[in-house]
Structure formats: structure tokens, C-alpha cells
Amino acid sequence: MERPYAQQGRSEHGALRSNSRWLMYHSRRIFFDRSLQSVRKTSHLIKERKSRFYIFRRCVVMLLCWHD
């Protein structure tokens, strides 16, 4: 019985090792991308909250300083 890996000059273990390296690399990359997305989402929420607070503060000041 012939092994397909023997025809290519690789062993089964070598192919498994390269697949595990590929999996480790991409799983790290996916984790990094997700954590980066989380950071971006958090910074976006902080900026939005800051801008809402700024608008609210300006409205309160305008109402307090308003005269007939």
C-alpha cells in the first residue's frame, strides 16, 4: 500500500507538523484580530460617549445662561 506523502517526499508527521504550525499561526492571528477589533470598538464607544457628554454639557450651559 503506497502512502501519498511518500510520493511527495514528505512524511505524515512532517505534514502534520506543518499543518499544526499553520493552525497555530492563524489562530494567533485570529485572536490578535479579534482583540484589535475589541480595542477599536471600545475606543469608538468611548469617543461616542465623550461626544454625547459634550453635547449634553453645552445644552445645559445654554439653558442656564439663556435670558428672555
Position 62 pLDDT exceeds 80: yes
CA distance linking residue 58 with residue 63, whole number of Å: 9
Interacting residues of 15 by C-beta distance below 8 A, sequence separation 6+ = 5
In whole angstroms, give the CA distance from residue 66 to residue 61. 8
Residue 66's pLDDT band (cuts 50, 70, 90): confident
What pLDDT is attached to residue 9?
46
Spatial separation of the C-alpha atoms in residues 63 and 10, rounded to whole Å: 77
For residue 27, what is its C-alpha cell?
Answer: 489562530
Per-residue pLDDT of 4-49, as tens digits, reads 544 444 544 455 456 777 777 777 777 677 777 888 889 999 999 9
What is the arithmetic mean of pLDDT over 52-64? 95
Q: What is the DSSP letter of 9?
A: T
Q: Is the pLDDT of residue 60 over 90?
A: yes
